[in-house]
Structure 1
Amino acid sequence: MSTLADIAAELPGYDPSDLRVADATAFLEALAEPVQGTETLPLHEALGRVLAHDLVSPLSVPPHDNSAMDGYAFDGAALQPGQPLQLRPVGQALAGRPWQGQVAPGECVRIMTGAVMPAGLDTVVPQELTTPGPDGTIAIAPDVLRPGANRRLRGEDLQEGAIALQKGELLSPAAIGLAASLGLQTLEVTRRLRVAYFSTGDEILRPGEPPRPGAIYDSNRATLTSLLARLGAQVIDLGAVPDDPAQIAAAFARAAAQADAVITSGGVSTGDADHTRAMLQQLGDVVSWRLAMRPGRPMVVGRIARALEGKMASSPIQESAGSYENQSILFGLPGNPVAAMVCFLVLVRPALLRMMGVRQQALPYLQARSSEIIRKRPGRTEYPRGIVFTAPDGNLQVCTTGSQGSGMLSSMVRANGLIVLRHEQGDVAMGDLVDVMMFDAAL
């Protein structure tokens, strides 16, 4: 596994003092590797988990040719262009109760949706396209269907031996249903990712504490632990830690000892009281970034050793060289609430999903036309909070949520996505197409 310097060396033009979002994404993709360990769960407990191995179908779905309609099954070769067809029903096939008889020319079988197609029959005429005759026969008008119509073929959904679900599938209700359709009772999934979180700052108040001058309530702890829970991680909430080097070191030690990843917010800028960055230089292999993005300028990433309890390791990476499985990945986020959330959504969330083994890690994008002018200077990627809506003409449009201050958490509540303004992009005119990173199920 590469050191941070090795990873940086692979990125042309890497500049931690003015790091492009694309380079930060590539760096984190190399840093964050899937964790080891699996567990087997009943289907009803596997929702939202990550499939550990390719799931090979043990049978064909459907397991037999069957009817897609309530109607009458017959041999489609009897259909002749421009000619009506008269058939005599000789039996009935129900779902779960196949009809086992033989069908002669001019005969058909009454059949229900899902019932096995009787031997020698390949076409189903829906009941509403038939006319009953006085002698118990049915009549089919000319040219209303073709041979093979309304028949589901054996294995047309899945063939026995084919891959039904790929490794890394984030198990949705549809995926759980597909596994059930194969007769499976359990699925092997990756173990839950363990993520520790704590906030830093003397100004932090816990909800419920009385207000005091200069203090603010800790919204980051609530939003980020909620984002982690929505992601499906096992959240280790270590609360808030004051700006004291010894307490910060102890918090990192507790976090690293328990978690695959450690997330903290605050203390990553260059202020005199921002001890987090200095402390991390002693605890692990870390790098400080100034990101070319808005919101979310400062960020710290790296690895810290898991065996820090009771000591201050001056060089734990060297002590455990070649043993990176004993390291926790660190993400130090800015303290402003919106900046912390945007950095999480754009950079940290994909990295955590990669650690979980998920194949598709990015939030979905769509394009919409801006309903307003958006000012933007080239040289950084910007993520205004946006509201996507359907205009009267039926096309998608997007507007910002108004003021884009990085401390205005209410703007994230109103938004349903982030407008993505690329690094080299300038001002957006009204009516211009823009990309929008939709929140989907992330918030």
Structure 2
Amino acid sequence: MSAFDTVVVVDWSAGKRQPEGPRKDAIWTGVARAGRDVAQDYHRGRREVEAWLDDFLAAENAAGRRVLAAFDFPFGYPSGFARRVTGTDDPLALWSWLNDRIIDSETGENNRFDLAEEINRLFPGEGPFWGKPSVDRWPDLPYRKAGIAYDVVPERRQADLAAKASSSCFQLFFNPTVGSQTLTGLPVLHRLRQRHAAAVWPFEDTEAASVVFAEIWPGLIEPAVKAALASSSAEEIRDQVQVRLLARALSALTPSDLRVMMADVPHEAREEAWILGTGHADMLIEKTSGAQLTPPPLSNDCFALPQGVDWTPVDQALRLLRDRLHVVTAVEEVSLEAALGRVLAEAPVAKRSNPPQPNTAVDGYGFAGGRGEGPHILPLIEGRAAAGVPFAGQVPAGYAIRVLTGAALPEGVDTVVLEEDVRSDGAAIAFFGPLKGGANTRKAGEDVTAGEVILPEGRVLTPADLALASAVGLARLKVRKPLRVAVISTGDELVEPGAEAGLGQIYDANRPMLLALMRQFGFETLDLGRIPDDRATLRAALDRAAAEADVVLTSGGASAGDEDHVSALLREAGAMQEWRIALKPGRPLALGMWGGTPVFGLPGNPVAALVCTLIFARPAMGLMAGAGWSEPLGFDLPAAFAKRKKPGRREYLRARVRAGQVEVFKSEGSGRISGLSWAEGLVELPDGALEITPGDPVRFIPYASFTLG
């Protein structure tokens, strides 16, 4: 565990206030705990991020968590600078001096170039500050570095040299630069330090501080940042990636790691500051991989049948799967925009109530208290309340005010009369009672109250869920990563659809069906193609599947014949169980583990492959995905067919509903693939003997009831 409960990393900017929406070269914060990402947030300007940090640090303190707050700009200047400016070597006195002089407006307009001119006039000759957007303005601030001697103070700090940082804190313009960030950032740190009693490393003793400020530099983990950007499936903003990885790495450090880093500083750092992690970049990069919240692997014997069991009834097979499998997907936090169809890993809690304040449900007129029978006349006060534009004053007793739908109820209003029931001359309103107190209003929190769990863990998120999360102030949710399913077809007889099929060859129907089915379930797919009846090739495919997927689906080769290589390889690995299930169609279902990844060996027959997938693999994979075990929803309807069934096996017939009755496909042959397309679901017939005549109730399970969610 880290010496800090929470790490927040701030990527600073000296620019003007940015527009809405995530942008590069702006201010970003990244929060992590115990090596796990919590959030990354975009902030439009320095005023906004200072307010955010105030709230954040106060909340962490209230929760009893110790915080390391790391900022990506210099905390100090080269030796001798502070004394020249303030008369003392104390770098924190320089923070205070800058805070007294910097002007930084709400729009981000600031006087940093004027302030740099003022400081330059304290030094002989040119500099030390240089760089500006205009050649002619600020005459005491050089446009270029040429001609600046840096004989009174060095150009770079010892920290910059040791970390090979790319810019000097005296460079205010032209990339790469941190000089302007320092002049605008240190005053903010000065104020936050005072308000939250923060200790600044390495200037102060940090052992007893609940909040510690430290300087960092993203360049220390540049290889990890480049790798993350290269592997990202979305166009991520570099600043967001940097704060995420740095916060993750710092929060994953052990207390001993952190002590070594914080003690490994030269004497000059007491005045100049130091970049945390300098000399330990490899350790930080290693920690950027993070401690992902990943469940333990399944055991190799999780599919073992009880002693003496040969033919396995369907219900027993399902119980065994439900009892022995568990969630295998890791946890991540995503924005609402990316959350649709994802499985909640943690039950979200409302940040605020919905509605947040009492409000009106209709257009009309508001006042205090109900009214009895008969006519009522109330004088109107000037003004109105509208959604998003509340009335600032108080409505006196006996008076009314104009209110519009969704408006927060003004003080002195608890009842609203519908506009259609009122006559008004602009000065007063008239209406007939009775009108119950509280009529046509909504109470604060009558839908959801702050602190209330709004959705259960394991829920597959719908558009309506995202609306609810947004309404209660949530912008991000903790979800499971999508289950990744590898699909393999086996057999020399298979050829790709559209290719030339030779004598004895058939087109691969299973793989397109299974891949589409997995995507319909909400899973990610890995298509490993058609594998011939060659054990070495199949072994290589299983190796890749185990490395890149959470579950493997194979079709064909699952029985005990000479060319049944799936079952043969699973036996070689010592993790093969052939479940002879009392099921029609289907029967043999090879279950095993390959490299710690569960393998469902489905029959090669497309009809049997689909039935086994829907009945067994679907609920098992839903459980592994974090959505829990689900039973398909079926309902009883009258049969439009006749059938006599022997005891011993459960049967599933391809079926559809017409005129309120269930029809079944004309043939029960497992080779009739057209029946899968013809059907809209399955009829489930129980294990025992049965005779069905037209009109008898049968259980129909629509295909749609097998989908995730």
For the aligned pair, the TM-score class normalised by the smaller chain equals 0.7 to 0.9
Q: Which has the higher contact order (CA 8 A, sep 6+)?
A: 1
Aligned positions of 1:282-297 closer than 5 A? 282-297=572-587
Contact 1:47 1:172 in 2 (8 A): yes
1:417 lines up with 2:681 in the alignment: yes
The reply on whether 1:83 has 2:378 as its aligned counterpart is no
- Residue in structure 1 matched with residue 600 of structure 2 by the alignment: 331
What CA distance in whole angstroms lies between the structure 2 residues aligned with 1:408 and 1:297?
17
Distance in 2, Cα, partners of 1:163 & 1:329: 33
Shift of 1:6: 8.4
Q: Distance in 2 between matches of 1:138 and 1:110?
A: 10
The answer to whether the Cα contact below 8 Å between 1:7 and 1:30 also exists between their aligned partners in 2 is no
Q: Superposition pairs for residues 356-371 of structure 1, below 5 Å?
A: 356-359=625-628, 361-371=630-640
> Offset of 1:105 from its aligned partner?
4.3
1:26 corresponding residue in structure 2: 319
2:556 counterpart residue number: 266
Distance 1:109 1:101 in 2: 11
| Alignment-derived partner of residue 317 in structure 1 | none
Worse-matched range after superposition: 157-166 or 117-126? 117-126
Q: Which has the larger radius of gyration?
A: 2
Q: Distance in 2 between matches of 1:360 and 1:258?
A: 24
Alignment of 1:166-315 (within 5 A): 166-304=456-594, 306=595
Change (3 A) 1:5 1:94: closer
Structure 1 length normalisation: TM-score? 0.84
- Looking at structure 1, the residues matched to 543 and 322 of structure 2 have their Cα atoms a distance apart, in angstroms, of 25
Which residue number in structure 2 is paired with residue 97 of structure 1? Answer: 389
Equivalent of 2:443 in 130, 143, 153? 153
Say whether the 8 Å CA contact 1:204–1:240 is kept in structure 2.
yes
Q: Deviations over 1:222-243 (max 9, x none)?
A: 0111111222323121111122
The equivalent of 1:315 in structure 2 is none
CA distance in 1, matches of 2:653, 2:507: 24
Matched, 1:123 2:392: no
CA distance in 1, matches of 2:394, 2:603: 75
Aligned to 1:322: none
2:696 aligns with one of 405, 413, 432: 432
State the secondary structure of the residue aligned to 1:423: coil
Structure 1 residue 402 and structure 2 residue 666: aligned? yes
Taking the aligned partners of 1:361 and 1:246, their CA distance within structure 2 comes to 37
Partners of 2:629 and 2:396 in 1: how far apart? Answer: 53
Relative to structure 1, the CA distance from residue 355 to residue 132 in structure 2 (aligned partners, 3 Å threshold; closer, same or farther) is same
Bigger mean CA offset, 416-425 vs 258-267:
416-425
- Tell me, in whole angstroms, the C-alpha distance in 1 between the residues paired with 2:589 and 2:567: 9
Is the 8 Å Cα contact of residues 299 and 331 (structure 1) preserved in structure 2? yes
- State the shift of 1:260 in Å: 1.9
Matched, 1:108 2:405: no
Tell me which of 73, 89, 106 is aligned to 2:366: 73
> Does the 8 Å CA contact 2:329/2:550 hold for their aligned counterparts?
no
Partners of 2:442 and 2:679 in 1: CA distance: 44
Question: After alignment, is 230-239 or 85-94 more displaced?
Answer: 85-94
Question: Whose helix proportion is higher, 1 or 2?
Answer: 2
Shift of 1:14: 7.3
Q: How far did 1:3 drift?
A: 5.5
1:181-200 Cα offsets, whole Å, 9 max, x none, are: 22332222222222221111
Distance 2:476 2:573 in 1: 41
Change (3 A) 1:109 1:195: same
Deviation readout 1:32-66 (Å, 9 max, x if unpaired): 22115222222211211112212111111111111
Aligned twin of 2:215: none
Flag the 1:101–1:5 CA change in 2: closer, same or farther, 3 A. closer
Q: CA deviation at 1:277?
A: 1.7
Q: Which moved more, 1:363-372 or 1:334-343?
A: 363-372
Distance of aligned partners of 1:70 and 1:386 in 2 relative to their CA distance in 1, 3 Å threshold: farther
Equivalent residue runs for 1:383-402 within 5 Å: 383-388=652-657, 391=659, 396-402=660-666
Q: Is the 8 A contact 1:94 1:112 kept in 2?
A: yes
Q: Distance in 2 between matches of 1:370 and 1:186?
A: 48
Deviations 1:4-23 (A, max 9, x none): 378634xxx973x3211111
What's 2:220 paired with? none
Matching residue's letter, 2:603: P
Shift of 1:340: 0.7
How far apart are the structure 1 equivalents of 2:656 and 2:379? 61
CA distance in 2, matches of 1:44, 1:441: 26
Give the Å deviation of 1:155: 1.1
Q: CA deviation at 1:120?
A: 3.3
CA distance in 1, matches of 2:399, 2:697: 60
C-alpha distance in 2 between matches for 1:340 and 1:371? 26
* Candidates 638, 643, 648, aligned match of 1:379: 648
CA contact (8 A) 1:14 1:23 kept: no
What is the deviation of 1:399? 2.5
Match of 1:340 among 609, 613, 631: 609
Structure with greater strand percent: 1
- Greater Cα shift, 373-382 or 224-233: 373-382
Tell me how far 1:217 sits from its aligned partner.
Answer: 0.7
2:346 aligns to what? 53
Change in Cα spacing, 1:127 to 1:421, as seen in structure 2 (3 Å) is: farther
CA contact (8 A) 1:57 1:161 kept: yes
* Alignment partners' CA distance in 2, 1:176 and 1:135: 42
When the two chains are superposed, the root-mean-square deviation of aligned CA atoms in Å is 2.6
Using the aligned pairs only, state the percent identity. Answer: 41
Q: How many residues align?
A: 409
AA aligned to 1:426 is L
Instruction: Answer whether contact 1:295 1:382 (CA < 8 A) is retained.
Output: yes
Contact 2:303 2:592 in 1 (8 A): no
- The code of the aligned residue for 1:388 comes to V
Instruction: Tell whether the 8 Å contact from 1:364 to 1:440 is kept in structure 2 after alignment.
Output: no
| SS at 1:39 equivalent | strand
